[in-house]
Structure 1
Amino acid sequence: MTMIGRCWTAAFGLLLTTAACGSSDTAGAGTDVGRIDRAPTPASEFTPVELEATVDRLIAMINESTIEPMQMVILLKNLDTFFEPIATGASRAMGELGVTGNVLGPTDQSGDPTTSQDLQNQQIEQAIAAGADGIGISPYGDINAAAVDDAVANGIPVVTLDTDVATSKRSLYVGALNTSAGATAGETLLPMLPPPPGTVLIHGNIGSDWGDGHARTQGAMQVVKAAGYTPLVSQAAFFAGEAFDVDWMKGQIQSADPPVVGMIGLFNISYRCVMGADAAGIPDVPIVAFDFDLRTVDYMRQGRIKATHTQRQYYEGYLVPYILYGIRTIGLDATREVLAPLMDGDNRVNIGLDVVPSGKIDAYNSFLDEIGVGQ
């Protein structure tokens, strides 16, 4: 086992004895009602009003129940950069709920995706062995399906976040709906483009093996194509490295026919689109991005990236412990009913998407500061 694997095992050894700090008591077999006291979220133009109201309704339902103490674990691909707000939200929710649990993940992803995937499956096995009552996970895809199903077979509800394993028996997925998210990015870019013809390079995902990335890419492609432009996908190289990614984009831009007139980045490494444009000699091409990486924000301040689309990572992390808690206390069907305003179908919770123009960086940063996840 790797050092990371040993550290994760040690963390699970603490799972049964480490309680999140909050306003609730979990001692005893069954507790009094009305015990969750959630602090109000500061109002902002970026506050997701319906999502906030839904959390309050779920808390009201839970507070009418008599509950048992609960252990849960939230498993993330990482604990920094993109995933840091998710970890913050999950930790805060567990503190408010007073549950026993941890948010786990390596501080740096392995350069080998297979190793990371295997280690995450080990985490699920360790959560089962540690007696977890609920698991939230940001999975790698279908490679995690068997481990998720094993948890469910052991009576442990599983909620996925950010990415999904739709082929598994997980209870719910929480996050942005990727096809519509990609389409939104395309619609943001269109007003910035010259009339067609022209090529729009999409820094996305070509293969269907990563369903979420593929769906987001397809959403962007559909909007671009419907508007009369030629979509060209450059495969985002998460594991091959930045230099490889930029060089690949450069080659595609230089060989595009008709010429590239705009670029869309669909993931947290969207800032690389600026590097690709510079390498290909088209520094003035309009670019829209995804997520709020510091490098993306820097390029926005320089006017190089015109807008970004954030996935409300904090709320992804924050909502999952409440959903797991709801499943345990009031049941899955009742939890779904409360979540109905956010539901797409029977098993997907859509937390929505924020479109942040470059001129709104400071306002958005203020909102993030207010909820405790500022840059």
Structure 2
Amino acid sequence: MKTMGRCWAAFGLMLAAAACGSGDAGDQGAEGDTITRAEIPDNEFFPMELEARIDSLVAELNKTSLEPMQMVVLTKNLSDFFEPIAVGANRAIGELEAIGNVLGPTDQSPDDPTTTQDLQNQQIDQAVADEAKGIGVSPFGEENRASIDKAADAGIHVVTFDSDLVDSKRSLYVGSLGYSVGETAANTLLDMLPKEPSGTVLILGTTGKQWRDGFDRTHAAQNVFGKAGYTFTVVQAVFVDDNEATDIDQMKSAIQTANPPVVGMLGLFNISYRCVMAADAAGIDVPIVAVDFDPKTVEYMREGRIQATHTQRQYYEGYLVPYILYGINTIGLDATKQILAPLVDDKGRVNIGIDVVRSDKIDDYNDFLNTIGAIQ
């Protein structure tokens, strides 16, 4: 495969076994002709409904004659946000005794995104040529639609995750839904604000529809604060690391010119921690709520500067994809959707939900992540 200067790697089954959190959870797999899932101890962050749906799917699969299945899961990269996704996907592949790997670039360089998209298209095309029975993919954007549709036309079911191409021929999408994330995060902050609306809420978000998930998060947050009677202002997030100062300056300016004054701040992405930097630059001390579990966000939570964050259950995002692919191949798409029905919307999106983590629950949440081998 032509790599065009980027390094791609397989996050293989051996790594999945090594990454298991405790005990022999990673050593459990299919026994004979049944699927045995790794056991997870009870915890306040244990996703009851999500786990119940997976158990129901496994129970149905265990009624069939289980056969090895070839599949591939393609991520945007294999580090940071996507590392727990890779751990979950590999554990599921191991439990299913499927043939396949989790693949992705080993760097995150933003200098040539088109090249990365082209590489992912090559991976999809190769899976088709190898006669895989299922493909999981986190698409970079519209540039990946043709390859996904080509795979579907070849009779291969494609499940997207993390980012979706809802108008493509993919079978299902797995992830935390943007509107739900924004709504939940906004309500978390709303509970910390004065009961009598009297101030402005600053939202670090995006109003551009090119990134639908980001737009949905922002739109949902605007609706929550608007209905509650608060004034709100949106600062457009700038994601390039070198432009961190731009985000901070934009928010500082918005804080200084806000009328009425800013009484709370909400960051809707992994760069939420920049809200603290902006608040410091503007000389204000207000409740701040974040999204994602970035190390800098966690650091500010420990300092009491960020009151809560919301995580996207990346481990389960990765874990569900192979099970859904296997389910579609074994019992069919309709039967699989029926089992997952409480989680599936009318656009074929499987909502895995989010975890709300308060600043005094960081260690408890880390303990939970450790039990599933997905510490961040």
Q: Taking structure 1 as the reference length, what is the TM-score of the superposition?
A: 0.90
Supply the AA of the counterpart residue of 1:190. L
Q: Tell me the secondary structure at the aligned position of residue 327 of structure 1.
A: helix
Q: Which runs of 5+ in 1 are unaligned?
A: 26-31
C-alpha separation between the residues in 2 aligned to 1:35 and 1:358?
41
Q: Tell me the secondary structure at the aligned position of residue 192 of structure 1.
A: coil
Supply the AA of the counterpart residue of 1:139. P
Residue of structure 1 equivalent to 2:35: 36
Describe how 1:177-192 pairs up with structure 2 within 5 A: 177-192=177-192
Sequence identity of aligned pairs in percent? 63
C-alpha separation between the residues in 1 aligned to 2:59 and 2:185?
36
Residue of structure 1 equivalent to 2:119: 119
Deviations 1:9-37 (A, max 9, x none): xx58x99x999876657xxxxxx974211
8 A Cα contact 1:20 1:101, kept in partner: no
Supply the AA of the counterpart residue of 1:224. F
Residue of structure 1 equivalent to 2:168: 168
C-alpha separation between the residues in 1 aligned to 2:239 and 2:193?
28
Describe how 1:185-200 pairs up with structure 2 within 5 A: 185-194=185-194, 195-200=196-201
Distance 1:246 1:114, change over 3 A: farther
C-alpha separation between the residues in 2 aligned to 1:35 and 1:264?
46
Residue of structure 1 equivalent to 2:99: 100
Supply the AA of the counterpart residue of 2:145. A
> Offset of 1:287 from its aligned partner?
0.6
C-alpha separation between the residues in 1 aligned to 2:250 and 2:126?
39
8 A Cα contact 1:271 1:295, kept in partner: yes
Describe how 1:132-151 pairs up with structure 2 within 5 A: 132-151=132-151
Deviations 1:338-361 (A, max 9, x none): 112222236111111111111111
C-alpha separation between the residues in 1 aligned to 2:4 and 2:233?
40
Residue of structure 1 equivalent to 2:277: 275
Supply the AA of the counterpart residue of 1:39. A
Residue of structure 1 equivalent to 2:205: 204
8 A Cα contact 1:20 1:98, kept in partner: no
8 A Cα contact 1:85 1:373, kept in partner: yes
Distance 1:40 1:83, change over 3 A: same
C-alpha separation between the residues in 2 aligned to 1:306 and 1:23?
38
211-220 vs 133-142, which moves further: 133-142
Q: Tell me the secondary structure at the aligned position of residue 290 of structure 1.
A: coil
C-alpha separation between the residues in 2 aligned to 1:297 and 1:83?
17
Supply the AA of the counterpart residue of 1:238. F
The answer to whether residue 215 in structure 2 is matched with residue 214 in structure 1 is yes
Distance 1:4 1:126, change over 3 A: farther
Residue of structure 2 equivalent to 1:311: 312
8 A Cα contact 2:34 2:66, kept in partner: no
The answer to whether residue 51 in structure 2 is matched with residue 49 in structure 1 is no
Deviations 1:195-240 (A, max 9, x none): 4332211111221011111111111111011111222212222236
Q: Tell me the C-alpha RMSD between the 2 structures.
A: 2.4
Q: Which runs of 5+ in 2 are unaligned?
A: 18-26
Residue of structure 1 equivalent to 2:253: 251
Distance 1:130 1:273, change over 3 A: farther
Deviations 1:121-143 (A, max 9, x none): 23322322333221111223333
C-alpha separation between the residues in 2 aligned to 1:19 and 1:326?
24
C-alpha separation between the residues in 1 aligned to 2:263 and 2:80?
30
C-alpha separation between the residues in 2 aligned to 1:270 and 1:19?
31
> Offset of 1:299 from its aligned partner?
0.6
Supply the AA of the counterpart residue of 1:173. Y
C-alpha separation between the residues in 2 aligned to 1:367 and 1:144?
35
Residue of structure 2 equivalent to 1:29: none
Residue of structure 1 equivalent to 2:361: 360
Describe how 1:254-265 pairs up with structure 2 within 5 A: 254-265=256-267
Residue of structure 2 equivalent to 1:71: 70
Q: Tell me the secondary structure at the aligned position of residue 310 of structure 2.
A: strand
Supply the AA of the counterpart residue of 2:216. A
Residue of structure 1 equivalent to 2:298: 297
Q: How many residues align?
A: 363
Supply the AA of the counterpart residue of 1:274. V
Distance 1:2 1:76, change over 3 A: same
8 A Cα contact 1:124 1:151, kept in partner: yes
Residue of structure 2 equivalent to 1:350: 351
8 A Cα contact 2:84 2:374, kept in partner: yes
Deviations 1:142-194 (A, max 9, x none): 33222211111111111111221111111111111211210111110012223
Residue of structure 2 equivalent to 1:28: none
Q: Taking structure 2 as the reference length, what is the TM-score of the superposition?
A: 0.89
Q: Tell me the secondary structure at the aligned position of residue 152 of structure 2.
A: helix
8 A Cα contact 1:274 1:287, kept in partner: yes
Distance 1:163 1:281, change over 3 A: same
C-alpha separation between the residues in 2 aligned to 1:240 and 1:317?
26
> Offset of 1:110 from its aligned partner?
2.4
Residue of structure 2 equivalent to 1:159: 159
